[in-house]
Structure 1
Amino acid sequence: MTEDPKANLPNKHVVVTGATGNVGTAVVRALGTDPSVGSVLGVARRDTDWTAPKAQFAAVDIAVDDLDSTLHGADALVHLAWLFQPTHKAEATWSNNVLGTIRTLTAAAAAGVSTIVVASSVGAYSPGPRDDRRVDESWPTHGWPGAAYPREKAYLERWLDAFELGHPDIRVVRMRPGFIFQRGSASAQRRIFAGPFVPGSLLRTIPVVPDMPGLRMQIVHADDVAEAYRLAVVRPVRGAFNIAAEDSVDARTLADVLSARVVAVRPGLVRSAVAAAWHAHIAPAEPGLLDTVLRLPLMDCARARAELGWSPAHAPADILDEFVEGLRAGAGLPTPPLAPDSPRGRIREIATGVGVRP
């Protein structure tokens, strides 16, 4: 492994895009605790009053705004900016997620940024083995073609292959986390995936949890993911890292958290219901996302343990407990994308469609 001579320099200046979202807020907090990080510039599309140690914030849209001054003097870039909505306008998410990422990383290279840590995802992986064996970072990253999210993540994996070849002097790290939760993201994630018509308080009375073949996943707490990003910034590592709690969760795990019972259902029935709600603009999650989840591989996170020195501090059941409590309470954080639920806010979402862009 070629070491980055700047990796362990003190007073590093780190730019974090998507800094006010679920992962971004946790990453900004984590970087603020590192003695080798002198300053953090948090970048987001909208202004925020939220503050964190060592951090300042700038309202910058990576898809259209000038990025030269934003990245000037940065030692490292953590690129997290991502739009999940609007799923009915794939060109809008492509413009931000794919073209915006290309603009940002190209500008970072021109600015002389020596370390770039990019948010990829378990969603970038091709469908997993049928025997549920764990896959390492060498598993193909072609995604699932039926949904925008895995298509965009897979495209960027290919673009990063070329970017790394063209910039061997830049230390590029790709983080491939599982599903990321924290209490403060509960309301935002409800809005993104379930929409404004499904209140988090509904979870108080759910009697059953549907179970389908392939419905199991690996989750991770936002603070644990943030620690992995911090380590990727300050340690001389390169390449891809799977980041998740080793134990997977399934319908039975969620049923235990909700004190509900598990009922087996056919995936086709659930997909038809999701598709009907999506086509009717009642729910924002496109049916291809369900297809993606049912085909995801389980990840082997041994490389993160061995080379990053990372391991999760939160158990999956505890993560779900915290997140479900946050849903029931309408919890959030004081940033535009993570704003907590309120009756007034929910009415405004429905009336204006504000919830379609996180």
Structure 2
Amino acid sequence: MTTAVLTGARGPLGRRVARILADDGDVTVVLLDDVLHPAAAGPPELDSADVVVDLGTSDYDSRAEQRESSSEFVAATLAAADQLAADQVVFVSSALVYGAAPNNPKPLTEDAVLRPDVEFVFARQLASAEELVEQWRRARPGRATSVLRPALALAEGDSSRLAAALVSGLGRRIAQADPPSQFLHLDDLAEAVALAVRSRLDGVFNVAPDGWIAGERVRALSGERPRFPLPERLGEVVSSLRWRFQRGPIPPGLGSYTQEPWIVSNGKLRRAGWEPSVTNEQAYVEATEAPWWTMISPKRRQELTLGLGVALGVLAAALGVVVGRRWWRRRKAV
């Protein structure tokens, strides 16, 4: 019988992992959500555990809500693992740690150099957290660590604010090509965590569906918006305003992840026995609402766009006439 302690388990991923492991007759699940304040959360009623699963360090919403850093949370989780004499830690990180860059391989494998965006604090904290997990593994012989780096994970009604922000930006750049994207369903991520516990996986594993979606396809799924060429700097300002007023403040540095590729390979995890059950497109469609214009045929959208352009032209001409008349009247009055 394996005893698994889940930290940061109150979120959508935690609920899924707890349910999967609880259905396994060989695993006893203990929840310890608030690892930074165990007295308030109530420490687990046990003296030891076989594995500690950290689901909270990469939970952007919870860390922001509690005003806690990811580095603090992972340190507290590792301290709990020491206290419980656990010899395995499963750590859920993120593929964000690879960084988004035009020269990234497609796809990235686990041995790729970590280059998180220097302006995106959350991604840098996750990369540092992985280093702490590796230090914990090396501190004592016989320890194992499973570091999972999932692609953008989402599900209907359960997507984080960070995931929603990324989805909002992918496939919607102004007059520029879009990078390929991956969308992982939370159910498949939960199965990967459960596999790491059951099989005592040791090492780093990317978690992603098979393949990826081209930028043009993401744009089609999201409902292509009319695009007008703008100078690069002006485009950045417009995008920033759209982020702020439509989706709320976005963490600095997140923009690069909507502009450059950071897709990952799932080959290593597949060889360990994991299989995705939801495709990129299925995960995206389930977790997002299709705009009304996606129901309109491409020809009709083109007609509406042209009609809008004509209407704007007529309006501009009418305004010009009105302004011209007022100017002429003022001149005659003088």
TM-score normalised by L of structure 1: 0.68
The answer to whether the 8 Å contact 1:228/1:243 transfers is: yes
Q: Distance in 2 between matches of 1:113 and 1:327?
A: 48
Match of 2:52 in 1: 77
> Displacement of 1:276 after TM fit?
4.7
Q: Distance in 1 between matches of 2:139 and 2:291?
A: 44
Distance 1:274 1:98, change over 3 A: farther
Distance 1:63 1:304, change over 3 A: same
Distance 1:268 1:319, change over 3 A: farther
Q: Distance in 2 between matches of 1:193 and 1:236?
A: 32
Q: Distance in 2 between matches of 1:123 and 1:178?
A: 8
Match of 1:41 among 11, 23, 30: 30
Match of 1:255 among 179, 199, 219: 219
Match of 2:253 in 1: 288
Match of 1:210 in 2: 173
Percent identity over the alignment is 23
Kindly provide the amino acid, as one letter, of the partner of residue 36 in structure 2.
A
Kindly provide the amino acid, as one letter, of the partner of residue 181 in structure 1.
L
Q: Distance in 1 between matches of 2:6 and 2:201?
A: 18
Match of 1:26 among 2, 6, 16: 16
Q: Distance in 1 between matches of 2:256 and 2:206?
A: 21
Count, aligned residues? 284
The answer to whether the 8 Å contact 2:6/2:30 transfers is: yes
Structure 1 stretches (4+) deviating beyond 6 angstroms? 264-267, 277-282
Q: Deviations over 1:49-80 (max 9, x none)?
A: xxxxxxxxxxxx32333599437332221101
Match of 1:183 among 151, 156, 160: 156
Q: Distance in 2 between matches of 1:302 and 1:131?
A: 17
Q: Deviations over 1:240-266 (max 9, x none)?
A: 000001222344333333444574767
**Greater share of strand:** 1
Distance 1:148 1:327, change over 3 A: farther
**Greater share of helix:** 2
TM-score normalised by L of structure 2: 0.72
Distance 1:22 1:216, change over 3 A: farther
> Displacement of 1:239 after TM fit?
0.6
SS in 2 for 1:184: coil
SS in 2 for 1:286: coil
Distance 1:133 1:279, change over 3 A: closer
Structure 2, gaps ≥5 residues long: 293-334
Equivalent residue runs for 1:159-178 within 5 Å: 159-178=132-151
Match of 2:200 in 1: 236
> Displacement of 1:273 after TM fit?
4.0
> Displacement of 1:235 after TM fit?
0.5
Match of 2:237 in 1: 272
Q: Distance in 2 between matches of 1:184 and 1:227?
A: 19
The answer to whether the 8 Å contact 1:225/1:243 transfers is: yes
Moved more, 291-300 or 169-178: 291-300
Q: Distance in 2 between matches of 1:303 and 1:191?
A: 26
Q: Distance in 1 between matches of 2:48 and 2:224?
A: 53
SS in 1 for 2:31: strand
SS in 1 for 2:56: coil
Q: Distance in 2 between matches of 1:281 and 1:193?
A: 11
> Displacement of 1:286 after TM fit?
1.9
Q: Deviations over 1:72-117 (max 9, x none)?
A: 3322211011453599x899342xx111211211221232112210
Structure 1, gaps ≥5 residues long: 1-9, 45-60, 195-202, 329-358
Q: Distance in 2 between matches of 1:116 and 1:225?
A: 16
Equivalent residue runs for 1:332-343 within 5 Å: none
Kindly provide the amino acid, as one letter, of the partner of residue 167 in structure 1.
R
Q: For CA contacts below 8 A with separation 6 or more, give which structure has more relative contact order.
A: 1
Q: Deviations over 1:142-200 (max 9, x none)?
A: 411111111111111222232221133221100000000111314xx358855xxxxxx
The answer to whether the 8 Å contact 2:88/2:145 transfers is: yes
Q: Distance in 2 between matches of 1:327 and 1:259?
A: 6
Distance 1:220 1:233, change over 3 A: same
Q: Distance in 2 between matches of 1:101 and 1:327?
A: 39
RMSD: 3.5
